[in-house]
Structure 1
């Protein structure tokens, strides 16, 4: 298991290393807020196709060759991205990169292959910690290595670093990762039509999917416009944005490893979801109120804390309240729904940013306020029913 967690760390560090660069990289092409937000959304578009394709491919050929191949191809894609000659090429390469990065389902398949059901929650916690550690380290490296004042050439070094991390992940998987599944029949593709029908008739499940969609949309959109907003508000560059992401990822790591377990044990998943949404709403809504760099970093960290509390618990409730024969289709629908929020929302928030720099934060806070009553209904739906005589 530690060998797999190293692979997760390397992969996520390479992916997240690019994030604080994208607003400034887009500027180098003369892109506006909408086009820059599309650079974020394009990766998720490729991710949807990748998760479906590589998950089934790993059933046919085994997990290890898929992880070796996809991380190696991701490294090549990063290098091509560094030498993009125009915004259109950069967008296409972000989609391709997302396709080769769509392997979290494969990693979760490895965990399912080697972990008894009773231990999976604990192991998924380790997986989340490795993910957040990579998300903390990657942006800091990217922000510190970039030199936006040099134009496109100033982004070559951090993007090459992302390629090196992806290549390192490929070599690590090839050298140290053992195969956990013998080649065999591919899993049946998720039947989204059946899943939609099932979820729409469940008062609990459709609310959980709505909460996840809205919350992840706000988080992804804030992430997309953050560099633009801080550049305008404080004159920040990739350095400051990267260090902020370091703080954000560190908070996510602490919440995942130390906070979420005791809170769920004390209050239950549904109430923790409500608390996470309240933190998320406060962090987003107060961002334009406190125009100070320290406050901005603290509020972004608070946003990650709320995100880390709310949405893993929403996923856990979805899984626990879905019968075994529908797990694949419903969880597939959940992943597709979450990915669609990361595709649709950032460009829309980019358009709103073009009208007013503070408006996306206020819009995000309003959306979360509207979602909180939905989460309170989830608390009622999951509350233990009194025993009848």
Structure 2
């Protein structure tokens, strides 16, 4: 891996750290402004929905004008948005900040396009694994940093997040060169900038089917992530401190798997086989997690889950990258990030409809559903594998 790759991985780590600082506090911060539960949920959805529409545009523009300027704009948007949120005096400003962060939030897809630019096809799975590990490491340190920032105020967590994003911005400006070698043609209209690609992207050979698969993967995953916390606290009788430790465990094991695990498995199995294995373990884990309401049992299942779950996105990203033309890497990664963003809005709604606080047994229902749907996604991926498997990989 060359210097530009490691700089990009560092930016990915700092970006994930900035993001995960906010995860534990958005709901409580919204409550400080007198928002209802439904209004607070919109703070999550407005970010995901605006990101859904923005990321393909940012990806397309990165193919036209280069990776560096679009990464700079995206990171600057996060810095400004978090500064506004951290100093907001009304809910209107808070909603505007979440919208701004979402509409400029294409830095992950641009970083993935940079990795595609600077790595060879045979090293791409390993590169995306390392990038995923860098992102996962942020999920380990982000909640810890958030707890420290909250000692001052919830708004301070937004300001710390913005300061960390500003560090990533400086690294990008001064140390990351432009990596795009061949620029795409100039867009003729708004839809050429990527909005039309949200629909047309589904028809791109080999890419469209991967976007569909990853949308359903993301939806089933967010069903789990929404239901996981209330199940852990309400059913297993745990507290916020032990929940934080589980998040740290998830992040640490994911980081290990995405660095050494991907490298080891790639020597023995092809990318598609690793994806199938990871989806199977994820599906099985979701289904057996709520069978026995015991914390030790839950942690053991979670360890197995977190190891293999961390393989899913690096394999999907690698397949998309290998199937996309060099001048369309940003577009493809932007589309992928876009459909993942909208899945982040769909999954929690589905899970929330299944949970009834008056009936504790309902906290298990989304976990069973997530496992069943993940298995169906795996079956679909297996049946359609010839439609997205690169020619150099045997199926």
Q: Could you tell me the TM-score, scaled by structure 1's length?
A: 0.79
Q: 1:337 to 1:69 in 2, by over 3 A?
A: closer
The residue number in structure 2 matching 1:54 is 58
Conserved in 1, the CA contact under 8 Å of 2:201 and 2:335?
yes
The residue number in structure 2 matching 1:343 is 345
The alignment partner of 1:288 has SS state of coil
Q: 1:369 to 1:53 in 2, by over 3 A?
A: closer
Q: Deviations over 1:92-141 (max 9, x none)?
A: 43232122221223223333444455544443333222222222221232
Shift of 1:38: 4.5
Q: Deviations over 1:257-276 (max 9, x none)?
A: 11223324323333322321
Tell whether 2:17 aligns with 1:13.
yes
Tell whether 2:242 aligns with 1:236.
no
The residue number in structure 1 matching 2:380 is 374
The residue number in structure 1 matching 2:202 is 196
Shift of 1:212: 2.2
Shift of 1:24: 4.3
Residues of 1 paired with 2:113 and 2:328: CA distance?
17
Conserved in 2, the CA contact under 8 Å of 1:55 and 1:103?
no
Q: 1:304 to 1:217 in 2, by over 3 A?
A: farther
Conserved in 2, the CA contact under 8 Å of 1:42 and 1:94?
yes
Work out which of the residue numbers 98, 107, 129 in structure 1 matches 2:102.
98
- How many residue pairs match? The answer is 374
1:38-187 correspondence runs (5 A) = 38-59=42-63, 62-84=66-88, 90-117=94-121, 119-143=123-147, 145-146=149-150, 154-181=153-180, 186=186
Structure 2, unaligned runs of 5 or more = none
Conserved in 2, the CA contact under 8 Å of 1:213 and 1:341?
yes
Shift of 1:164: 1.8
Residues of 2 paired with 1:197 and 1:73: CA distance?
31
Shift of 1:378: 4.7
Shift of 1:9: 1.2
Shift of 1:322: 6.3
Shift of 1:15: 0.6
Shift of 1:10: 1.0
Residues of 1 paired with 2:287 and 2:111: CA distance?
35
Work out which of the residue numbers 260, 279, 282 in structure 2 matches 1:280.
282
Q: What is the root-mean-square deviation of aligned Cα atoms in Å?
A: 3.6
Conserved in 2, the CA contact under 8 Å of 1:10 and 1:166?
yes
Residues of 2 paired with 1:37 and 1:285: CA distance?
27
Q: Deviations over 1:60-118 (max 9, x none)?
A: 55443433343233123123323556767545432321222212232233334444555
Q: 1:265 to 1:380 in 2, by over 3 A?
A: farther
Conserved in 2, the CA contact under 8 Å of 1:205 and 1:318?
no
Shift of 1:284: 1.9
Conserved in 2, the CA contact under 8 Å of 1:61 and 1:183?
no
Conserved in 2, the CA contact under 8 Å of 1:55 and 1:106?
yes
The alignment partner of 1:20 has SS state of coil
Residues of 2 paired with 1:40 and 1:297: CA distance?
28
Q: 1:245 to 1:39 in 2, by over 3 A?
A: farther
Q: Deviations over 1:133-190 (max 9, x none)?
A: 222221232245436xxxxx74233332212211221222233333445996557645
Residues of 1 paired with 2:326 and 2:98: CA distance?
35
Tell whether 2:8 aligns with 1:4.
yes
The residue number in structure 2 matching 1:150 is none
Conserved in 2, the CA contact under 8 Å of 1:20 and 1:241?
no
Residues of 2 paired with 1:232 and 1:87: CA distance?
30
Q: Could you tell me the TM-score, scaled by structure 2's length?
A: 0.78
Structure 1, unaligned runs of 5 or more = 148-152
Conserved in 1, the CA contact under 8 Å of 2:59 and 2:334?
no
Conserved in 2, the CA contact under 8 Å of 1:143 and 1:243?
no
Conserved in 2, the CA contact under 8 Å of 1:41 and 1:347?
no
